[in-house]
């Protein structure tokens, strides 16, 4: 898993894969490759949904609030109203079994989720050193 964290940083920290956080107040706490979740921030809305099961690595987001998700529109759809506490409904195709499940998330502050991500990454890096 420690190798995966380094890979995620290298692969998905590029401008093509990151949301411009300065233009967004909220997030649901996922790193995406197109519509596929490649990392779910521990403690984030995607990790602890309001209803349904957490989003898992390699799950595919099919619909966001009823709108078909594509690699071109998914960030905009997930951002939605960009209001902290705003609810977003996802139809997720599970990587494990292909089942489609509805997951309801509550948008959270970008700062709060980024702090949780940074803490998780630091803990994982420290664990790798032990």
Spans of all domains in the chain:
2-129
Structure tokens belonging to residue 128 = 């790798």
What pTM did the predictor assign? 0.77
Angle, CA of 20, 28 and 96, to the nearest 5° = 120
pLDDT of residue 14 exceeding 50, the answer is: no
CATH classification number, 2-129, choose in 1.10.10.2520, 3.90.1570.10, 3.30.230.70, 2.30.42.10:
2.30.42.10
Across-strand partners of 68? 63
pLDDT of residue 66 exceeding 50, the answer is: yes
Q: Computed from CA positions of residues 123, 85, 36, 92, in that sequence, does the dihedral angle turn out positive or negative? A: positive
Q: What's the pLDDT score for residue 4? A: 61
Q: What's the pLDDT score for residue 123? A: 87
Residue 47 · residue 37 · CB < 8 Å? no
Per-residue confidence at 18, pLDDT binned at 50, 70, 90? very low
DSSP 88: E
């Amino acid at each position: 898993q420690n190798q995966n964290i380094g890979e995620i940083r290298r692969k998905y920290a590029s401008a093509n894969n990151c949301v411009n956080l300065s233009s967004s107040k909220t997030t649901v706490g996922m790193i995406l490759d197109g519509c596929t979740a490649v990392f779910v921030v521990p403690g984030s809305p995607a990790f602890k949904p309001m209803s349904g099961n957490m989003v898992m690595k390699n799950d595919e987001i099919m619909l966001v609030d009823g709108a078909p998700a594509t690699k071109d529109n998914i960030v905009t759809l997930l951002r939605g109203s960009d209001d902290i506490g705003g609810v977003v409904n996802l139809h997720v195709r599970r990587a494990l079994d292909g089942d489609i499940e509805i997951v309801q998330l509550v948008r959270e502050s970008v700062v709060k989720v980024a702090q949780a991500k940074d803490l998780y990454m630091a803990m994982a890096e420290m664990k790798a050193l032990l």
